[in-house]
A and B are shown apart, each in its own frame.
Chain A
Amino acid sequence: MHAFGQILKIETRLYLRDLAAPLITIVLPLLLLTVFGMIPALRESNPDFGDRSFIQYFAPSLLVITLAMAAVNILPTVLATYRERGVLRRLATTPASPAALLAAQLVISLGTILISAVLLIVVGRLAFDVPLPRHPLGFALALVLGTAALLALGLLVAAVAPTNKSAQAIAVPLFMLVMFFGGVYLPRFMLPNFLVRIGDYTPPGVQALLDAWTTDAPRPLHLAIMAVIAVLAGSAAAKLFRWE
């Protein structure tokens, strides 16, 4: 559709113009991978990490940075700002629906997540001995379901927050929780066991990503929980979302 293509094109440009967003979402995880990967000790297997190297153990957490930024930070604040400023309402007076703008934002989120995942996998493999996902299907499933769960949460925030300010007030703590349980702030081996277990079930489900990336099939329960969160948060968001 012509209108959707135009909206996607313009929204992508706006996303790139806001340098901070692509820098933190895509460049920062890659940069951290490179910095840690250059330290030889972090590339050696270590029983603390289940016979993985630190860098193998930490790579899924770097992907969590991308997921958290795209889905629960940028997406809800952009949508709430658009609603607050009447961008969505104005679009509703034209033949293009505000739904097209929402769809464009989702495409941009998915695109950045995909790009970042591919970059981390490829650079990790070529430079730092991180294997390609050992269980590709399981990895794809874990990534898709984790992404869906987080995007649904992001949309729910956008649905309940009327303004940019209120969206940030919900999105920032949520973002920090996702980052924390995703093992970004502190690698998970440094956390007490019960926090690690909570992290297994906190979207996007970093343990399932880790299992599929470096060992074997993720646990079905981990995946199922992500699917349930995606469906629940997604339908609540669909119910509550307002264009104005």
Chain B
Amino acid sequence: MPVIEVTNLHKRYGETVAVDDVSFDVAAGEIFGVLGPNGAGKTTTVECVAGLRVPDGGEVSVLGLDPRRDATRLRQLVGVQLQESQLPDRLRVAEALEMYASFYRDPTDPARLIDELGLGEKRNTPYQKLSGGQKQRLSIALALVGNPKIAILDELTTGLDPQARRDTWGLIERVRERGVTILLVTHFMEEAERLCDRLAVIDKGRVVALDSPTGLVSAVAPEQRIRFRPSAPLDDRLLADLPQVSAVTRSGTQVVVTGTGDVLHAVTSVLARNQIIAADLRLEQATLDDAFVELTGHRPAE
């Protein structure tokens, strides 16, 4: 059963159409990613889901409730991290979390959350003295402190260094293990690939693709290329006859196999059966980056 349903969402600011026509469902316990170039309408979409903006058309339903009409009930159940929101300069880390915890009926322990997000040493540091990444982590913590059923995270790891980014992914995975559904906006392909069960790629206010990360890649560029040097002479037909293989060519001592699906597995099984070792084996395949460029005509961030 979907916990978030967005149907033909439309939202404009004056003359600007920010979201033209967006539909997607998010299942319970899923990590659902929203990907797209700058200005695509990602923030507007998730802010409509969060009940912060009123759609001009279409339907949004969250846990079977209306984000505007049932706002009071939903605010207990949905934690939101906004892309651009700051805290008062002199507010300290622990104070912020304790204050936010007091808003909820069944909050998590703020002290534990502070440690989990690596802010333990900063608990008495005022907001203005935090680094960009620490501010970001505090913002994530505030979204999670109420023990939400759904967390909406806009630009989860923007501004974090690679280590902090990985730590945050780990945290998000642990949060999901507790059964929390996560709707996250991201610019990072690696993040989308690692975290998201499914992704909606949005461009100019429309969904241009909706699939799992691997599904997106294979839909856009299904071909994979395997290169290796066989340890013993090899009859090309052994490989060419495999249903997954579309072509076998030679380049010097290298064999180059192109194919789709689980071509790698098929090829290595044949080689094993013939007791041939594949030296310098390489698998080349399109990445989510390639898929993103293909779908939107933009280079992803970074």
Contacts and interface: CB of A to CB of B under 8 A. Distances in A.
Given A94-B103, A95-B76, A95-B104, A13 B95 contact: yes
A107 to B, nearest CB: 16
Given A14-B88, A95-B104, A89 B99 contact: no
Given A10-B91, A93-B52, A2 B102 contact: yes
A85 B75 contact: no
B84 interface: yes
Interface string A92-104: 1111100000000
Contacts of A95: 72, 75-76, 103-104, 146
A3 interface: yes
A17 interface: yes
A3 B82 contact: no
Contacts of A81: 88
A86 interface: yes
B90 A14 contact: yes
B193 interface: no
Chain B interface: which size bin? 20 to 34
B85 interface: yes
A89 B100 contact: no
B98 A6 contact: yes
Contacts of B95: 10, 13
Q: Is the interface of B mostly helix, strand, loop or mixed?
A: loop
Contacts, number: 61
A89 B85 contact: yes
A6 B95 CA distance: 10
Contacts of B76: 95
B82 A90 contact: yes
Contacts of A89: 52, 82, 85
B184 interface: no
A86 B91 contact: no
A10 B85 contact: no
A18 interface: yes
What 8 A-B pairs have minimum CB-CB distances, sorted nearest first? Answer: A86-B85, A93-B80, A6-B102, A85-B86, A90-B85, A96-B103, A95-B75, A17-B90
16 contacts: A3-B102, A3-B103, A6-B99, A10-B99, A14-B90, A86-B85, A87-B85, A87-B86, A89-B82, A90-B85, A92-B52, A93-B75, A93-B80, A95-B75, A95-B104, A95-B146
